[in-house]
Structure 1
């Protein structure tokens, strides 16, 4: 089966910029462990996000807030071990980038040194610009995350679409322009009107990666447990499921249980 990854060179932040310039869409999925990362890297994914969504998918928490720096480092190291080509981006977890540039840099350096990842993703705009600038000035690539920011869910009180009113939309545009100015190599826009995301993508030179932001941006990201159909409890409008692994894995488990109970596994050829 052919893929869109005929170029086997390692993906870099500069190559993402080149992809935007020539109109080539950027693909991104989350991963949290070695095995899953190896599979999607070999399939040709451009970027792998070690998301703090591990809090939901791997632990079962209701929000991303409980993820610690140590937990993110563990997951990121596991992912990096399975990747040869994709750009690996790691979320800075809640509380590690919140208005103290020195402490933010210390956390960022820990992630980069202890995981071998390529870049970090940080939620927030103008309010944390000094933190982001400090990290970038230290030589660490940063992907910004604006729009719906899951780490701020307690402030929002809802997961509804953001930036629908003029004031919030203008702030989002201003924040995107600011993040570009201080050196972010890309921006994730989550759950905002498609027309606004398209407009932002035209206003900035860095790649815009959307999730629930329509098709007029430079790339897309999804949580792998959602798009693979492992998680069936989450069905937002923007999600397209490309497989039904929940059913496949359930049936495989049931078949295994039956074979063991019926003494059909292991058989003679499966025994020493």
Structure 2
């Protein structure tokens, strides 16, 4: 039924013409903006309806939105009053889901408000970076060829004074060849193990013996190394805040579920494909 109301909202807003409204001194969420057969429609109802609209409606002038939303709620109220009999099962279930979701979100908001503090973020920074070992990064270039003999020949040329970047452009089959074999800066774990092990054992400016990996044979030149400093708190504050939020909410949920009397035995033996069977809601 929701898609019917969405189309009705679009229709109402598109056709609405702003009209003067009776102003109140201090309107709030409980301010009644209309009644339909004695049932109140409040400013709070309108605000929540506005929040649920697709983003493109935000481009409309406020007075058009106001009139369109009010028309929508009046129409919905009249339609709801005209409905005879009990609410369909799908409506009751949807309302239960929506209430559960909204209240759960309120609880999450409280948890985040109380648990995500500057002190918690600072502690996360200490836990993550204070005891972390300094990481060495490497700047290297390589020439990739298919055979060991080709790699040995390159080493011989380089030992004879050939320019590494020139040979890489001429001989390398890897994607870095056109850039003279330059791989930029990288840390441990970013290269395949055979390549990384060779680089770690090299001194700056050195040329490696041929190194075989799954990609072929490499001749490596280690340009330089540096120690990667830990980032400052301000540099990673947003990242740490997100982690603290995730950890706080997860811990709270895990504790609640663990202490709750949860019985999921009713789900045993149910075909998961039934999730697609909308006929069950009728």
Answer 1 or 2: higher relative contact order, Cα 8 Å, separation at least 6: 2
> TM-score normalised by the shorter chain: which range applies?
under 0.3
TM-score by length of 1: 0.21
Structure in which a larger fraction of residues adopt helix: 2
Structure of larger gyration radius: 2
